[in-house]
Every structure is written in structure tokens, then in C-alpha cells.
Chains A and B, each alone.
Chain A
Amino acid sequence: MEEQVQKNAAPEQNPIVKQKIQRLRELYADAPELGKVALEKGIPDLAREFAAATTAVQNAGRIGARQGKVSELTGILPIAKGGAKRLRGLLQLLEGNFRGADKVGTLHDMRFVFLDNDTKLLFATAYDGEWDAYIDDFVTKIPNSLDLLFCNIEGWPGIHSPTIKEWLVQHQVAAEAWYVAHPNLTVAETRRLENVGKAVADFLDKVG
């Protein structure tokens, strides 16, 4: 506790923080002038981050980062011949409606970005827990949705392939940094709190 107070009082005096600032100055030695200026101006803020830093990020199972209960999955997937046209068409027709994803119950978001002249797909999602845990459930519960999306990817072994986990891991790129505003709020918990909020509002409407 005392240590914490001390850290907050003068983070720049903390030897670890000092070391980190020193390291940052070295890294930015060859930065453009405006970068160097920004670094010097930003040092008080950065020192506070450094002082607070306990490893907030953990491992999300085999690959990927997790903060609290929320994990990230980023994949860069080679698009199969004709796959870009099909996948873009499918995504456009869906107009952002992903009820299948609602059903999964752990997906906070998903993004699909076409890269390098439609030869690659960036797929990024934030989800609860470890994805391996439920992959078998996807196989028996929503095999079609996944095959429909990912048949457009080169080398997709099919959701029923026993090598599916290895395939996914091979295409996953671990994020270097991962920030979550509410690391303890899972999708299920968010929905529950939303309902609690509504119930309270209804109650207040009735008594007010």
C-alpha cells in the first residue's frame, strides 16, 4: 500500500519507471522531430502508466492475449480463388446481421477486412474466455455458418476436420497489445446488467 502511494506521488522517481523512460528515449532517438517532442511532452503521462503497470494482459490459451475475461483473436487468412467476391457479397447481403454470433454468446465483436488487393482477409474478434473450449460445440451446433464463411479461405479444412484447431492456430497472429475497458464484463454479464438496468428503470417509472 505504502509503495503504491509512493509510486503515485512521484512516478518519475521510481527506478523501474526511470529505466523505462530511458529505454523509450533510446527507441525514439531516431524518430522524426515531432515524435521526440511528443515523447518529452508525454513523459509525465507515460510515467504514470509505467508506474501502474502490473501485467494486465494474460495468455488466452494457445495463442492470443486476454485481459480479465476478454480475449482477442486476430487472423490473417489467405483468400481462395473467387473467395473475395463470394465473401464480400455474403457480408454485404447480411448487412451486419449476425444472429449466429448472438447465439454463440461469447463474441463481443467481429471485423472482416479485405487486405492486399483482396488476397487476404483480416479477421479480428474480441471474445470471452478461451476459444478452444467451445470449438467442438461450434462443430456440432453451427457447422454450416462457419463453412459458409470460411470456405472462401485457402486451405480451410472444413469445420468437421479433426485438424481444425491446429489450422486456426496456424493463421492466428498474436496481438502485441490488448486493451479492454471492462475486462470483467463478459457478453453474458453485459446482457444481464442490461436487463437489470431496464428492470430498475421500469420500477422507478412505476413508483415515480
Chain B
Amino acid sequence: MSLHEAVAGDLPLGAPTLDLHEIQATVLRPRPAPYFGTHLLFRIDDAQAGRAFLRRLTPHVDSAAGWWSAKTPWLDVGISYAGLKALGLSDDSLQSFPEAFRQGMAARARQLGDTGVNDPKNWDQPYGKGEVHIGVSAFSDSAENRRRILGIAREQFEGFAGVSVLAMQDFGAQPGDRNPLGYKDGIDQPAIEGSGVDPLPGQGQPIKPGEFILGYPGEAGFPLPMPQPDILGRNGTYVGFRKYQSRVGAFNRFLHSHGSNEAERELLAAKLVGRWRSGAPLVLAPEVDDPSLGADLQRNNDFNYANDPRGRQAPFGCHIRRMNPRDSKLTRLTDVNLHRLIRRGTTYGPPYDPNALSEADDEVPRGAIFLFISAKAMATIEFLQQEWINDGNFIGIGDERDPIIGLHEEGAAFTIPKDPVRRLVRGIETFNVLRGGEYFFIPSISGLNWLANLGGK
């Protein structure tokens, strides 16, 4: 009997209701606005100690029950393949994880197109060396709550032998909830069927939960293969953790060399993303920014590209049209719902400064760590990197790449469709450089408990 048959037999194939008490909160809960948090990366030096650490941590890991409220701070826990090994998981179980997860993000650099400046050999410590075993993220809505939740996390590892802290990275929303390049982001998230909340206008038909959480039917009608045993896999998912350094000086120099005044620069900045910095989408506000639209959750994502088939408002190559082409005409047979990710962008470093123009500004540690969550995160991130980020063929613009998160060679350009002739803006650079990445499995609460108690105490 195949894995698929074994799993499909006992699942309702109608409209499953998610087991919210089992799924970790971060999977479904958006970051609060504003948000304050910390990522902690650990190495397990001893299997028994690693499991004891998980036993201490798990009671403080929040589930997605009531995920729509983000008032109380929460912790999440992800475990890399190296981490599962270090915890003493059996070979059979280890082998039941997908190949790309077992290899790890650094080893998949070819498939991810992480080459040149983004090559794992240029990454920050401790990424890509198989040393990061456990990732813990603390999210909260205030500095005070961060201190509280971080205090709880610290109590579980401080003075605890056998587990080492490799990195601690604070993150938080900048004034106005902006990202390192000055944009409001994280607006468009996939709606998930059975998650208990009506989709926001523009989110479209909810996507089958199996695309995002293991153990439920996906868009093709059946669940994806799950890691074994069942208690470990079910209600779990994966996260692709990617740390970017924003070259704010290079980005500003690019805007300045193509826009002689602020209005021109802001329009160009909006064309690159498909939204004004306020979050207002270009297809709803094509000429001038509309900050009240950008701030309105009921309206800021409520659009499609039916009235912009030629990219006159949102260029085909802009960031948001790539990451979710919605109803855009694509050159290849594509099911857009299969390539979505739940995104938790977490910004670190000083706020965006429109006057930062120097090369030194490119090296100021600031950027974003993205958590890309999906039941097939590895395959989806590879697809996005190959097809939608570092290529333009899928939407009919040849070799052009994503102007915000693409990896660019010298002389790269961005096409702004326009009448009577298009405007070609040269000088696109790699504005966000990859500085690290790891894949983590995010077990369910039961899965965490099971792992924590592997082989008895």
C-alpha cells in the first residue's frame, strides 16, 4: 500500500476543519502590527539534552487556536534535518522527509539559484553549515511583551548544558510598519480553507489546507506524503528561513539616478513593487499614492489584473505581480494556487532612510528574515526562485528578474509598459542579498511532545 493510500483512507475529503489546537500559532497567525520579536538559533550538542530542552520549551509553544488574535506573545519551534538527527530520530523516520529538506537549503543552492553574491559560501554565521538544529521565534505586539516572552524562552536554555545558542536576532516593525526598503509589506497572504476565518476581500477562494499543513487534502484532492510516524508528520509543516541584507544605499542611488524629484522616485519605487510604499496597490491607485487605501485591510488587497492586461498600471515584472500573478495571463500552464506561501517577514536593523545613498549604507546590518511556510515549502521556494523570481519568461518578459528580491547581473533592467512605448529602466542591482538560510520542520504540538520524549526520558 502506498503512503498516499494509507493516509487518504481515514481523511474526510470534503471540507476538513483544521485541528487548530495542534498546529503551531505562527503557521496561521499573522505578525501583529506593530510587531516585536527575536529569532534564536540553537545547536544540540547532546541528544538527551536536546530532547530535555524540547520538553521544557514545548509547554510555552502556542497553538493556532484563536490564531486571529495576536494580543498575547508566542513562541514557535522549528527543527532542521540536522536537528532531527541530533535528537536521535530513527533512520526510517529521517528518510521519510523530502529530499530537499534532508539536503538542507545550502546544498540546494543550484536549484534555488543561490549563486554569486547569494552563494552559501558568502553567508553569515551560523547558516548553511548543518549546525543550526533548532530555530525558535518569539513574536509579540510590544517591546514589553517581547521582554516577557523572551524571558520565558531564556529560562529554558540559560545555564542548560548540551544546547548552545548560535545566534539571537531581534526584529521588529519600523515606524509605520515598513520594511527595510520603506514599504508596508506582508499584505497579501493566501486564505486557507477550514482555518475558521472568512477570507479578506481579494484573497480569492480559500486554498485547500493540504498545501500549507500536512495531513489534509491539497489542491489536487489528496494529502502530500507526510514524514513518519503519523504523530510526527500530521499537522506539521515546513518553513524556509531566509535572511536578506538590504542594500539601502544601492536602492536609493537607483531611484535617484532615474527620478529627478521625489514624486518621480516614489512612482518608480511603486512600479518596482506594484504597490506604493503605503501599501496601496497600483491597479487601484495608478497615478498617485492613497495612504488610506494602503492602510485599509478591506480594500488594500481587493483587486485583480483583469483591467490591467498590458501591465500599464502594475508592470508584469513588478514584485507583487510575480509573487501572486492572480489572473494575469501566463505563458505556461500554471495553477497559481500551487505556488503560494504563507509569509512572515521580520525586519531587522535601523529603519529605512531615504537619504542613505552611500556604499557604506549598503553594509549597515538591516534587512529582513523571511519565514516562508508551506507543506511543500522546499519545492515551492525552488519553483519561485527559478520561475517567478529569477526569470521573466512565465509572464512574457524574457530574462527579466524580480527587481526587489532577484539576483541580478550587471546591466539588469526593469521594463515599465507604457504608451506609446515602454520605458526600460537600467541599473537594477541585487538590492537584497541573501546572507543565510535554513529549512525547518514545524511539528504539531503533539509532534513536538513526541520528539521531546523519544526513547524515554
Interface residues of chain A, those whose CB is within 8 Å of chain B, are: 69, 103-106, 128-130, 133-134, 136-142, 160-163, 186-189, 191-192
Contacts and interface: CB of A to CB of B under 8 A. Distances in A.
A17 B3 CA distance: 53
Contacts of B335: 136-137, 140-141
A138 B220 CA distance: 10
- What are the nearest 3 A-B pairs in CB distance? A188-B331, A105-B332, A104-B333
A31 B394 CA distance: 48
Contacts of B338: 136-137, 140
A144 B3 CA distance: 23
A105 B4 contact: no
Interface string B360-392: 000000000000000000010011001100000
Interface in B196-243: 219-222, 224-225
A105 B334 CA distance: 9
9 contacts: A105-B331, A129-B387, A129-B393, A133-B386, A134-B333, A136-B338, A141-B335, A162-B225, A189-B393
* Interface of chain B: mostly helix, strand, loop or mixed: loop
Interface of B: 2-4, 219-222, 224-225, 330-335, 337-338, 379, 382-383, 386-387, 393-394, 396, 398
B396 A188 contact: yes
B220 A136 contact: yes
B371 to A, nearest CB: 22
Nearest to B110: A59
B219 A140 contact: yes
Given A130-B386, A161-B2, A104 B332 contact: yes
A206 B113 CA distance: 45
Contacts of A69: 393
Name the residue in B332, B334, B379 with the highest tally of chain A Cβ atoms < 10 Å from its Cβ. Answer: B332
Nearest to A137: B335
A148 B446 CA distance: 42
Contacts of A130: 386
Name the residue in A136, A189, A192 with the highest tally of chain B Cβ atoms < 10 Å from its Cβ. Answer: A136
A162 B3 CA distance: 9
A186 B393 contact: yes
Contacts of B387: 129, 133
B386 A161 contact: no
B110 to A, nearest CB: 9
Nearest to A192: B396
Contacts of A128: 332, 393
Given A189-B393, A189-B398, A192-B396, A142 B222 contact: no
A134 B335 CA distance: 9
A104 B387 CA distance: 15
Given A161-B2, A162-B4, A163-B2, A129 B331 contact: no
Contacts of A141: 333-335
A138 B224 CA distance: 16
Contacts of B221: 160
A137 B396 CA distance: 18
A140 B331 contact: no
Given A69-B393, A141-B333, A162-B224, 10 more contacts: A134-B332, A136-B335, A140-B335, A140-B337, A140-B338, A141-B334, A186-B393, A187-B331, A189-B393, A191-B331
A103 B393 contact: no
Contacts of A160: 220-222
A137 B333 contact: yes
Contacts of B393: 69, 128-129, 186, 188-189
